[in-house]
Amino acid sequence: MFLLKQWASHIQLSKQVEAMYADLNKYMKRKVVDCLTKMVTNYFHTLLFLQIYELVIIDYPQSCDLIDDFRHCMQFNGNYGRTEIVNHLSDEIEHRLLHVGAITTEVLEGYAKAVECLRRLDPTCVIMQRVCSLIRNYVKQRPDTVRCIITYITGEKRDELGKQLTKKKAAIIDEEELEGGVNDDLIVENWRDWTADPQDAVVGKSRRFRQNADVFNMLVSVYGSKELFVKEYRQILAERLIKSWNREPQSEMRYIDLLKLRFSEGELQQCEVMLKDIRDSEKIDEFARDSLVGFFPISARIISSFFWPTIESEKFSLPKTMMDGLEAYSKLFEMKKASRTLKWMTGVGCVQMDVIIDGVSMSVSASPAHVAVLAVFLEKEKWTLDEVANYIGMDKRNVKKRLEWWQSSGIITFSAKNAECDSDLWCLVSGQMKMDQPLPEFDAEDESSDDGVEEDAEDIDSLEQYWNYTKGFMVNRQPMKAEKLQSIYRYLMFASPGRQGPSLETVTAFLQRKVKQNLLTYANGFYKVVKNP
């Protein structure tokens, strides 16, 4: 600008230039600032673009501020780089998240973060729809997806997703129902807020579904329909109410009230009946508590079988004292509920009791099947496996599993056959021999019958075909738990018709076999490949 003044003075135009100087100075400064702003914005945009996977999948929600800055950068540059973001993020997700080594819960966690973060980055939700469809199509192929999603929604993220349900009360819309249906642009209630879709919007995909999508809706959409979600939720709700020791109908009822904001009441009617059964059961318990004098306390779950999913119950003979108490409870129920009776599922539930041996007492919570196995030792102190199985009418494999649990509890000991005894014996301990050791944790989810299952050795041998893959997968990675390898084997076996994948016990036995063969090391629950064994 100084040179401009000199030139104007030289040609005798100083007055004219002086009049324009102020405006010209502002114009030049604005141009310089705009140019520098665009350069800095483009540079910042490039930096965030290279870290998009970390911002979306790993660091969110801590990266919220950077995502907001990224959105402003795109808007300032006329939505520059949207296609590049979708392509780059999709490639990163495919290579770093969607692989057999990632367990299903990790994939679902990434999916939920992608939904929330990309909605924040792009309010039109086009980027979210294009990227998340990649994750959704992949996770649908996993055999444990359905159970993991319902556990994720109703367990791990229950409170967080519950807040989302109250914030947004729009009903869940099945995407397939909208495709090929009404034109979203012609919906009357949206005409005031209508804006054109971005150029990269997926043709044929419903705008209404896209803009109504949040984490809850997107997770439910993985099922393909609301009916499948409700069916699986009903199954898990039944397991919680029947197999858990502490009933929480109030908590479950509050969650169903939240679900009604997205589902119609008719879709959740069976779940409401299930909770009503539990509340009614508590009233029957109160009535029976004062009348069952001389019997052990009973807290029953009386269910309406028509509204509940099928519940598997193992069959065996309970001790006579327990059966007498259940029969007395049934008579009281028939007195209160005329023309109705009870059919007991003795294989389901929990028994809380004190085990007293030679004056030493131990409080125990165990399943009725465990109690039936232990009760035989009231008749005599030494039994063979076949004798126990025949006495209570239980499969030998299940009897052995329960005897081993009592053995680990320090209440029963095992004596292998020898020269003095021609058969294996299970014996009741005496005094404080082992009863001072801590009880192993008991989990009702593990209480399932093994009737009709092939020998464990065959299941373990079937994993040998995957050993070379397992070794190659583990050799350059951090030590792994058996649970992660189980998810990998289930994924590999999913293509085989009729195969459900190995149980955790089978995978653990297979890995322990490799430890004995000096092919793996085991420490603190983690397995690692032995290099150059």
With a cut of 80, say whether residue 113 has pLDDT above it: yes
- Assigned CATH for 456-529: 1.10.10.10
Q: Which of 355, 429, 368, 369 is nearest to 397 (CA)?
A: 369
CA atoms within 13 A on the CB side of 509: 14
The answer to whether residue 512 scores a pLDDT higher than 50 is yes
Q: What is the pLDDT of residues 118-155, one digit of tens each?
A: 888 888 888 888 888 888 888 877 777 777 887 777 76
Cα distances (angstroms) measured from residue 482 to each of 143, 151, 487:
17, 20, 9
Look up the pTM and report it: 0.63
Higher pLDDT, 480 or 210: 480
Instruction: Give me Rg for the CA atoms of the chain.
Output: 33
Question: What pLDDT score was predicted for residue 392?
Answer: 92
Domain boundaries, the chain: 51-223, 238-336, 351-446, 456-529
- What average pLDDT does range 274-289 have in this prediction? 86
Helices (H) and strands (E) in the chain, counts: 23, 7
Nearest Cα residue to 153 out of 94, 98, 214? 214
pLDDT band at 391 (very low <50, low <70, confident <90, very high): very high
Tell me whether domains 351-446 and 456-529 share a fold: yes
At 351 the three-state DSSP class reads strand
DSSP E strand stretches across 317-373 = 351-357, 360-366
Report the pLDDT value the prediction gives residue 390, as an integer from 0 to 100.
93
pLDDT of residue 6: 60
| Residue 414 DSSP symbol | E
Average pLDDT, the chain: 75
Give the mean pLDDT of 86-97: 88
Whether the link from the prior residue into 497 is cis, omega within 30° of 0, is no
Q: pLDDT value at position 167?
A: 57
Q: What is the mean pLDDT of residues 430-450?
A: 51
**In the chain, % of residues over pLDDT 70:** 69
Q: What tokens appear for 524 in the block?
A: 């603190």
Most confident of the following: 43-57, 206-220, 436-450: 43-57
**183: pLDDT confidence band, cut at 50, 70 and 90?**
very low
Residue 162, pLDDT above cutoff 70: no
Cα distances (angstroms) measured from residue 115 to each of 57, 211, 522, 531: 10, 11, 38, 41
Query: Which of 3.20.20.70, 3.30.420.40, 3.40.50.300, 1.10.10.10 is the CATH number of 351-446?
Result: 1.10.10.10
Residue 505: which of 407, 410, 416, 397 has the closest Cα? 397
The tens digit of pLDDT for each residue in 242-266 reads 766 555 667 777 778 877 777 776 8
pLDDT for residue 2: 52
Query: What's the confidence (pLDDT) of residue 450?
Result: 45
- Whether residue 462 is predicted with pLDDT greater than 50 in this model: the reply is yes
Say yes or no to pLDDT of 304 above 80: yes
Rounded to whole angstroms, the Cα distance separating 343 from 326 reads 10
Q: Within 140-225, where are the H helices?
A: 145-151, 158-167, 175-178, 207-212, 215-221
